[in-house]
């Protein structure tokens, strides 16, 4: 019996070491591997001498395997701990299944002292079953646990508690040593699993609420973007129509001048004047910027301020920033006492240039400088050739 125990301890130690080395891609040869195998084998022998059951062996194996993997890989994560604990349960499962099959075949209803042949039959079949399960796990796929550990902490604790409780119960059942303390340990494990499930359900409910809130916000953003896209298309079509109308009127004026048709010229000049004092639209393929700035310019036109805008921008993400656009619009708030103004807006790479020309002075220019120092890179204000000129170079302070 002692020789057979020694043989099966050697075989089990060999299977365990082979699985851990193969699964975690550890060195198959070397001093550390040899020492690792010797430790696993000595634990098997020591537990046989002390008459410890498989549950106690599994706990010692668990810590030895953890230490061996960390020693040879210099890293440790949840998947490592979970796989090693899971494999210890596989060892217990293989022994329990083979023992139950043996009892069902020979009609044993409880634990009896096995003879040499019976012991060898159960041990050999359990080691063979363990080897088959180990090869299946290695050939199938490696377990990858990449989920959020904080969110699923309760699930992790529940699974580990179930594994430990199963290992304890299975070996106590085999050895027919179910006592009051074993039942207490198992009931305590069930309480832990029950509490963890309650906490997880609460977390799952909160997660569902967060998901619903996120979907509502996503739908709201989607409909807003659809609305912006619709307004953008209307804006672009109107801009194109005004653009074509400008060249049509220019061609008509040229023909009227060639024919010296004064009445037609007066009508065309009156139309162009009315057109200058009505809504202005422009399109730079930056819909947020185009719409907001167009609205502000049209507000000034309604106050009978003649504005000649010249805007040259490339499409860019910075023109989706409403805060940045509001800074641009705030510049136009200082146009109050001006009767007419020429407005230039240009893209200068990471910077943004605004130029305003008017025969009248601008309203509270110094106050603007104080309110917009965070975006203002450079400014210049001058009066020459009967024109007041204000230039603003704006940009993100991070780009300076």
Domain chopping of the chain, boundaries: 2-178, 280-400
Q: Give the whole-angstrom CA distance, residue 253 versus residue 271.
A: 11
Q: Report how far residue 229's alpha carbon sits from residue 222's, in angstroms, rounded to the nearest whole number.
A: 10
CA 110 to mean position of chain CA atoms: 54
Tokens of 346: 């240009």
The sheet carrying 376-384 orders its strands as 306-312, 340-348, 351-358, 387-395, 376-384
The CA-based dihedral angle spanning residues 268, 273, 275, 280, taken in that order and rounded to the nearest 10 degrees? 150
User: Residues 15, 134: contact at Cβ < 8 Å?
Assistant: yes
Strand partners, 346: 312, 353
Q: Output DSSP code: residue 388.
A: E
Strands (E) located in 235-386: 306-312, 340-348, 351-358, 376-384
Burial label, 376 (beta-carbon count in 10 A; 0-12, 13-18, 19+): middle
Q: Whose CA is closest to 389, among 345, 359, 348?
A: 359
**Structure confidence by residue, pLDDT tens digits, 43-65:** 888 877 777 666 677 788 888 98
CA atoms of 150 and 132, how far apart (whole Å): 34
Portion of the chain with pLDDT greater than 90, in percent = 0
- In angstroms, rounded to a whole number, what is the distance separating the alpha carbons of residues 358 and 383? 10
Is the pLDDT score of 75 beyond 80?
yes
pLDDT band at 397, cuts 50/70/90? Answer: very low
Expressed in percent and rounded to 5, the helix, strand and coil fractions of the chain are 70, 10, 20
Q: List, as one string, the DSSP characters of 348-375.
A: ETTEEEEEEEESSPPTTHHHHHHHTTTT
Neighbours of 273 (CB within 10 A): 11
CATH architecture assignment, domain 280-400: 2-Layer Sandwich (3.30)
Mean pLDDT of 73-96: 81
Backbone dihedral angles phi then psi of residue 342, each to the nearest 5 degrees: -105, 125
Report in angstroms the alpha-carbon separations of 89 from 86, 174, 272: 5, 15, 88
Looking at residue 317, what is its pLDDT?
77
- The crossing angle, in degrees rounded to 10, of helices 116-140 and 78-106 is 140
Q: What is the value of pTM for the model shown?
A: 0.47
- Confidence band, pLDDT 50/70/90 cuts, at residue 369: low
- Give residue-wise pLDDT tens across range 161-196: 777 777 667 666 665 566 666 677 777 777 777 777
Predicted confidence at residue 290, as pLDDT, reads 80
Neighbours of 345 (CB within 10 A): 20
Using the structure block, give the residue that is written with the tokens 């062996």.
57
Q: What is the pLDDT of residue 399?
A: 45
Task: Using alpha carbons, list the distances in angstroms from residue 200 to 44, 62, 144, 145, 193.
Answer: 38, 27, 21, 18, 10
Tokens of 375: 């975006």
Q: Which residues pair with 379 in a beta bridge?
A: 392
Whole-angstrom distance, CA of residue 297 vs CA of residue 319: 17
Query: What is residue 278's DSSP assignment?
Result: S
């Amino acid at each position: 019996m002692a020789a057979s125990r020694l043989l099966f301890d050697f075989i089990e130690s060999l299977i365990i070491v082979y699985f851990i080395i193969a699964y975690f891609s550890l060195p198959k040869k070397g001093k550390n591997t040899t020492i690792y195998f010797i430790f696993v084998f000595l634990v098997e022998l020591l537990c046989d001498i002390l008459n410890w059951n498989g549950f106690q062996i599994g706990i010692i194996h668990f810590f030895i395997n953890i230490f061996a993997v960390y020693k040879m890989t210099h890293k440790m994560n949840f998947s490592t701990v979970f796989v090693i604990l899971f494999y210890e349960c596989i060892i217990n499962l293989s022994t329990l299944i083979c023992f139950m099959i043996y009892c069902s075949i020979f009609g044993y209803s409880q634990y009896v002292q096995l003879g040499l042949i019976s012991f060898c039959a159960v041990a050999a079949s359990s080691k063979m079953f363990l080897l088959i399960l180990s090869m299946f796990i290695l050939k199938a796929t490696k377990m990858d646990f990449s989920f959020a550990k904080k969110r699923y902490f309760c699930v992790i604790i529940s699974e580990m508690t179930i594994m430990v409780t199963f290992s304890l119960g299975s070996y106590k059942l085999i050895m027919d040593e179910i006592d009051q303390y074993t039942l207490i340990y198992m009931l305590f494990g069930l309480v832990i699993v029950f509490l963890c499930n309650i906490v997880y359900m609460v977390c799952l409910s909160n997660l569902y609420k967060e998901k619903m809130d996120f979907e509502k916000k996503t739908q709201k953003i989607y409909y807003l973007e659809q609305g912006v896209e619709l307004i953008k298309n209307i804006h672009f079509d109107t801009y194109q129509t005004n653009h074509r109308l400008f060249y049509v009127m220019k061609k008509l004026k040229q023909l009227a001048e060639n024919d010296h048709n004064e009445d037609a010229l007066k009508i065309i000049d009156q139309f162009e004047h009315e057109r200058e004092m009505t809504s202005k639209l422009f399109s730079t393929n930056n819909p947020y910027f185009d719409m907001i700035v167009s609205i502000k310019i049209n507000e000034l036109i309604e106050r009978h301020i003649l504005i000649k805008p010249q805007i040259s921008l490339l499409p860019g993400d910075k023109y989706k920033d409403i805060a940045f656009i509001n800074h641009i619009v705030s510049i136009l708030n200082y146009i109050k006492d001006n009767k007419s103004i020429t407005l230039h807006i240009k893209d200068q790479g990471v910077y943004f240039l605004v130029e305003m020309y008017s025969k009248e002075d601008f309203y509270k220019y110094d106050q603007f400088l104080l309110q917009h120092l965070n975006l203002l890179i450079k400014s210049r204000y001058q009066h020459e050739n009967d024109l007041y000129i204000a230039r603003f170079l704006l940009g993100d302070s991070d780009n300076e």
